Amino acid sequence: METATLYAYQISPGNDDLLFFTETLEQCQAAALEQRRDFIENDPDEGELAAMAVYRCEMKMPDQQTLLRVLNDETTLVEACVVERKLVALVTD
């Protein structure tokens, strides 16, 4: 089974349903910090923003059957391909 390591952060702090993926931990942390700045800039009255989790994800490459299940909305690509997910950092201001 061919695998790849990717990094992902929570697009919405505290919510693992939507993740943004990058190739490196540094890229992931930088993207999360940029998004945090955008949140604060666009809604300064929101109050303190919760920490955003950053995960290291071991991904398996999808085979043809997996692709068909994803394309036919039977599963998501994340559900089908993430073999292991480990919390590696929290991004705060």
**Residue 71 pLDDT > 80, yes or no?**
yes
Q: Which tokens is 78 given?
A: 């994340």
CA neighbor of 80 nearest in space, from 71, 90, 70 = 70
pTM of the model: 0.88
DSSP 3-state assignment of 89? strand
- Find tokens 């540094």 and name the residue: 26
DSSP 8-state assignment for residue 33: H
Which is it for strands 82-91 and 52-60: parallel, antiparallel or unpaired?
A: antiparallel
With pLDDT > 90 as the criterion, what percentage of the chain qualifies? 83
Domain ranges of the chain: 3-91
pLDDT in tens, 50-60: 999 999 999 99
